[in-house]
């Protein structure tokens, strides 16, 4: 096993353990055993349990949002009509609302919560959030230039609002009287309709 392969496997196992049992269950001996490496190799690559947790939490945090940014950009590039782009965004909204995303929402919330009191993880999360927001802002600014999104709104503010509603759906996931996906989508689409140029 090469050094990079070993490093990747250690990280994969750490993420898997946190996904399955939570951060408190992550033990260096368990990671070493499951990854098929010596504990010293984990320390070599990640310095400490804390360093490994930081890397694992960052991997968990980054898993999903970049895919959505790419999907929005692909939808933008594939159409020349605002109505068609809005239709694609409605489909994305339905995906984001769906129960399949509930685990990802909770995952992001738990990663954010785990950064409390951990300056290194907090700074890494700030940087990652900035990158995610930069990417979405760039796509929204492009949508403004082609005339799909109203130009008077700040594209970064739109990007942050979209991310806020997406992660905020964790509240809906916990609500025992949660409205169905169609009712939630109606409200979110009303918001989105406010930023789109009328068809």
CA distances (Å), origin 198, targets 83, 85, 143, 157, 182: 8, 12, 13, 20, 22
pLDDT digits (tens, 9 = 90+) for 112-156: 999 999 999 999 999 999 998 999 999 999 999 999 999 999 999
Q: Which helix (H) or strand (E) holds 181?
A: helix 181-195
pLDDT digits (tens, 9 = 90+) for 149-186: 999 999 999 999 988 988 999 999 999 999 999 999 99
Query: Residues 13, 5: contact at Cβ < 8 Å?
Result: no
Average pLDDT over all residues of the chain: 90
pLDDT score for 74? 85
Confidence of residue 198 (pLDDT cuts 50, 70, 90): confident
The vertex-117 CA angle with 113 and 118, nearest 5°, equals 85
Query: Residues 147, 197: contact at Cβ < 8 Å?
Result: yes
pLDDT score for 65? 64
pLDDT score for 66? 60
**Is 192's pLDDT higher than 80?**
yes
pLDDT score for 30? 94
pLDDT score for 150? 95
- The stretch 99-121 carries a mean pLDDT of 91
Nearest to 169 by CA among 111, 115, 94: 94
pLDDT score for 67? 62
Structure tokens of 134? 């930069």
The secondary structure of 37-53 as a DSSP string is: S-HHHHHHHHSSHHHHH
Which positions ≥6 away from 69 have C-beta within 8 Å? 132, 135, 136, 139
pTM equals 0.83
């Amino acid at each position: 096993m090469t050094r990079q392969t070993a490093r990747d496997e250690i990280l994969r196992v750490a993420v898997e353990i946190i996904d399955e049992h939570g951060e408190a269950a992550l033990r260096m001996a368990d990671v070493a055993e499951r990854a098929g490496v010596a504990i010293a190799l984990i320390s070599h690559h990640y310095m400490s349990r804390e360093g490994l947790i930081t890397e694992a939490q960052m991997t968990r945090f980054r898993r999903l949002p970049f895919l959505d940014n790419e999907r929005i950009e692909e939808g933008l590039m594939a159409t020349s009509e605002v109505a068609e782009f809005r239709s694609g965004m409605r489909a994305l909204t339905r995906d984001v609302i769906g129960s399949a995303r509930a685990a990802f929402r909770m995952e992001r919330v738990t990663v954010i919560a785990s950064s409390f009191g951990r300056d290194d993880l907090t700074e890494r999360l700030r940087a990652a959030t900035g990158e995610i927001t930069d990417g979405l802002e760039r796509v929204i600014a492009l949508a403004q230039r082609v005339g799909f999104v109203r130009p008077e709104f700040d594209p970064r503010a739109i990007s942050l609002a979209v991310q806020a509603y997406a992660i905020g759906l964790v509240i809906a996931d916990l609500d025992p009287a949660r409205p169905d996906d169609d009712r939630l989508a109606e409200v979110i689409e009303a918001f989105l309709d406010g930023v789109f140029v009328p068809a």
